[in-house]
């Protein structure tokens, strides 16, 4: 199953533009969304849905209030934006199940985070499926059905926030709330080509959330872009007297806007796990994709540092092999004991391990964790963030069924330590495997550094050239970064000074990177259609020159595309036609005149740089092929582009 959603993209920029032109567009959009929800083939995404008449009533009241209020945009920054919540989060009048029917209750009040988002104008669509009691990273542990991966139904979608991630990836909602104790807000993001933002513990109130490990639980955000996820964090964060674990954000961590401007090579340092601990459990393709991600981050101005990963790995082992299992027993062990027949066998098995632990075990584990935290804090003094794969590999359903606990543990190799060590993280898409499955990476930083990793994550994500989620919509060309984002500075760095010696800055007061911060206005736009595309072998030639991706476009239908072969390489050639031809999908990059001059030294016959006409009427410089160069070549115009040709021409895996 490969799902491509039709209609409007659900990223915030698209929806806000649609509603700003005419608030009545909200109702036309909701009609389209209703059809999209009805057409989606996997009903297991949802445990319950808001009745549609209630959705429409909410829209009517919201639209009326927006029109009548002079400060509509300011009062409703999420006006009309549809979202979902994981079904361990309360919504007044709806059942909360935690994926266990016997546990279900009708919530008397709405969770603080959800209430804040609704106050900002967002419209709740429903509650999503999950691993029972938020115990698992696989997404297969639910009596309400198993959520299928929208890229390949034979593979797991990841958990425990499986439904939330897939709802966003499939274009059913613009964002969704999940929870994250061991990685449930990140692993499903990596498996579904969406962003997963796990904030610092306590930044978003957990009041109204069914606990798993209450001292570690976080409300997490899934979105199509990093900017969208960070906007949600801004709007629902804040202290809450009803949550004993709620924490204020230190003022100096969010007093200055931060943005990593595309094309500006701000120097920073990032850690990667040492070779002995860089684990993929035999998945060589994931290993290769991670190496590409490191290269991309380096091209953005980063310096990679191989760091000793064992302190992180040992902390990760404490979560499911140590005393924190007893905290799950404290959360719902009594219910499991009294209703064992209503709880999935694998959940009972995990829970049973917590019964043998003593208070002495708990204190010993706590002391060891404090030692490990001291070690990792020292490592962060030499790096701005840690870059890891989001998950080392991905499994088929039958593999998980055969070995549910061991494979689940493997998936948490790069996630289980984050909450224990009081870190924040953002999982961003990074690439695609030959079988179409997504691969993602995670940026991990000390507490309250969400703004830094979100800024970098946004630029990294854009440079991949991937589409958003499981849709055909390209990533937004802008990089929204909030005015509340953290900044690496002498105030904000946990070490007292930015490890890289420079601050990541340059955002406008509105929270977006201004044209001035992006570099000279004389940037030249260059169209590429083959080996220089994002993720392709020659793309680093552009990245190393400071080029930035402007977006994915189509040409006018006046071109033919050919597959050319020369010793040691295979590449496309695009030829302009005076009549006939077809549209070709390509990327447009922006670079300075000096960078273009340096780039031209790499262009070899039969390719040349000429004028390429885009579907929108714009004419840009771009790669073309001399007509004589395609003599004897195979025409691949019908594929519509080089990526599509590569995908179709590869032998089955």
Q: What HEC string does 72-93 produce?
A: HHHHCCCCCCEEEEECCECCCC
DSSP state of 373: H
Q: Does the pLDDT value for residue 518 go beyond 80? A: no
Looking at domain 12-313+369-464, which of 3.40.50.970, 3.90.1300.10, 3.40.1260.10, 3.50.50.60 is its CATH number?
A: 3.90.1300.10
Q: Does the pLDDT value for residue 362 go beyond 50? A: yes
Per-residue confidence (pLDDT) for residue 352, from 0 to 100: 82
Per-residue confidence (pLDDT) for residue 250, from 0 to 100: 74
Per-residue confidence (pLDDT) for residue 564, from 0 to 100: 93
Per-residue confidence (pLDDT) for residue 650, from 0 to 100: 56
Distance CA(276)–CA(333), nearest Å, equals 37
Cβ contact 169:162 at 8 Å: no
Per-residue confidence (pLDDT) for residue 624, from 0 to 100: 95
Distance CA(262)–CA(439), nearest Å, equals 22
Per-residue confidence (pLDDT) for residue 623, from 0 to 100: 95
Is 576 or 6 the better-scoring residue by pLDDT?
A: 576
Lookup: tokens for 323: 């005393």
**Quick one: average pLDDT of 132-142?**
96
What amino acid positions are annotated as catalytic residues? 86, 160, 184
Is 220 or 511 the better-scoring residue by pLDDT?
A: 220
How does pLDDT run across 483-502, given as a tens digit for each residue? 334 332 222 233 333 333 33
How does pLDDT run across 388-408, given as a tens digit for each residue? 999 999 999 999 999 999 999
How does pLDDT run across 556-609, given as a tens digit for each residue? 999 999 999 888 788 999 999 988 899 999 999 988 888 888 888 889 889 999
- Exposed, middle or buried: residue 497 (CB in 10 Å: 0-12, 13-18, 19+)? middle
Residue 320's nearest CA partner among 397, 399, 212 is 212
Distance CA(407)–CA(413), nearest Å, equals 10
Per-residue confidence (pLDDT) for residue 481, from 0 to 100: 42
**Quick one: average pLDDT of 102-131?**
97
Q: Is the peptide bond before 332 cis (omega within 30 degrees of 0)?
A: no
- Across all residues in the chain, what is the average pLDDT? 87
Residue range 520-649, CATH number: 3.10.490.10
Strand partners, 84: 126, 176
Write down the pTM of the prediction: 0.74
**Which ranges in 132-240 belong to alpha helices (H)?**
162-169, 187-192, 226-236
- Of 106-115, 298-307, 331-340, 457-466, minimum mean pLDDT range: 331-340
Q: How confident is the model at residue 350 (pLDDT cuts 50, 70, 90)?
A: confident
Distance CA(184)–CA(159), nearest Å, equals 5
Every domain of the chain and the residues it spans: 12-313+369-464, 520-649
How does pLDDT run across 69-95, given as a tens digit for each residue? 766 667 899 999 999 999 999 999 999
Three-state secondary structure of 580-610:
CCECCEEEEEEECHHHHHHHHCCCCCCEEEE
How does pLDDT run across 284-335, given as a tens digit for each residue? 999 999 999 999 999 998 999 999 999 999 999 998 777 878 888 888 778 8
Distance CA(145)–CA(70), nearest Å, equals 46
């Amino acid at each position: 199953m490969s799902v491509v959603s039709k209609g409007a993209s659900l990223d915030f920029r698209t929806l806000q533009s649609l509603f700003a032109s005419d608030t009545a567009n909200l109702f036309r959009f909701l009609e389209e969304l209703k059809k999209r929800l009805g057409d989606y083939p996997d009903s297991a995404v949802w445990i319950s849905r808001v009745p549609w008449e209630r959705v429409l009533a909410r829209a009517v009241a919201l639209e009326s209030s927006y029109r009548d209020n002079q400060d509509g945009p300011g009062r409703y920054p999420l006006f009309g934006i549809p979202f979902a919540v994981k079904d361990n989060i309360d919504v007044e009048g709806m059942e909360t199940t935690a994926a266990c029917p016997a546990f279900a209750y009708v919530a008397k009040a709405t969770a603080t985070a959800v209430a804040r988002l609704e106050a900002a104008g967002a419209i709740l669509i429903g509650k999503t499926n999950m691993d029972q009691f938020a115990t698992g990273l696989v997404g297969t542990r639910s009596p309400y059905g198993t959520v299928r991966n929208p890229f390949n139904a034979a593979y797991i979608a990841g958990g425990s926030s499986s439904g939330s991630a897939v709802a966003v990836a499939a274009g059913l909602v613009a964002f969704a709330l999940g929870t994250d104790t061991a990685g449930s807000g990140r692993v499903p993001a990596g498996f579904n080509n969406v962003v997963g933002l796990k904030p610092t513990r306590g930044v978003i109130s957990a009041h109204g959330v069914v606990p798993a490990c209450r001292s570690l639980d976080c409300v997490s955000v899934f979105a199509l872009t990093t900017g969208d996820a960070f906007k949600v964090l801004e709007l629902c964060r804040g202290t809450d007297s009803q949550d004993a674990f709620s924490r204020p954000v230190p003022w100096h961590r969010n007093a200055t806007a931060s943005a990593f401007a595309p094309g500006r090579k701000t120097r920073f340092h990032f850690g990667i796990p040492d070779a002995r601990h860089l684990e993929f459990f035999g998945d060589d393709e994931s290993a290769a994709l991670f190496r590409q991600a490191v290269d991309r981050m380096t091209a953005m101005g980063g310096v990679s540092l191989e760091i000793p990963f064992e302190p992180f790995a040992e902390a990760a082992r404490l979560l499911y092999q140590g005393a924190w299992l007893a905290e799950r027993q404290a959360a719902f062990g009594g219910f499991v004991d009294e209703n064992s027949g209503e709880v999935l066998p694998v959940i009972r098995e995990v829970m049973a391990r917590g019964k043998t632990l003593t208070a002495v075990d708990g204190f010993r584990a706590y002391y060891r964790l404090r030692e490990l935290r001291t070690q990792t804090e020292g490592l962060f003094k030499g790096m701005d963030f840690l870059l890891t794969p989001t998950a080392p590999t991905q499994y088929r359903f039958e593999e998980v069924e055969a070995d549910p606990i061991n494979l689940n543990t493997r998936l948490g190799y790069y996630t289980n330590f984050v909450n224990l060590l009081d870190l924040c993280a953002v999982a961003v898409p990074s690439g695609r495997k030959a079988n179409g499955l997504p691969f993602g990476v995670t940026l991990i930083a000390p507490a309250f550094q969400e703004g830094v990793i979100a800024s970098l994550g946004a630029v990294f994500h854009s440079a991949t050239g991937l589409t958003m989620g499981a849709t055909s919509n390209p990533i937004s060309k802008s990089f929204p970064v909030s005015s509340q984002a953290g900044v690496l500075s002498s105030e904000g760095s946990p070490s007292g000074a930015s490890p890289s010696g420079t601050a990541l800055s340059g955002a406008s007061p509105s929270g977006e990177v201004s044209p001035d911060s992006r570099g000279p206005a004389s940037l030249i736009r260059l169209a590429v259609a083959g080996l220089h595309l994002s993720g392709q072998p020659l793309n680093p030639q552009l990245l190393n020159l400071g080029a930035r991706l402007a977006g994915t476009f189509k040409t006018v239908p006046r071109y033919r595309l050919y597959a050319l072969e020369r010793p040691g390489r295979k590449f496309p050639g695009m030829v302009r036609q005076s009549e006939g031809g077809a549209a070709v999908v390509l990327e447009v990059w922006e670079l300075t005149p000096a960078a273009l001059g340096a780039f031209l030294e790499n262009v070899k016959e039969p390719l040349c740089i000429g004028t390429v006409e885009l579907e929108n009427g714009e004419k840009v410089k771009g790669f073309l092929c001399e007509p004589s160069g395609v003599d004897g070549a195979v025409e691949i115009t019908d594929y519509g582009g080089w990526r599509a040709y590569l995908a179709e021409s590869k032998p089955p895996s």
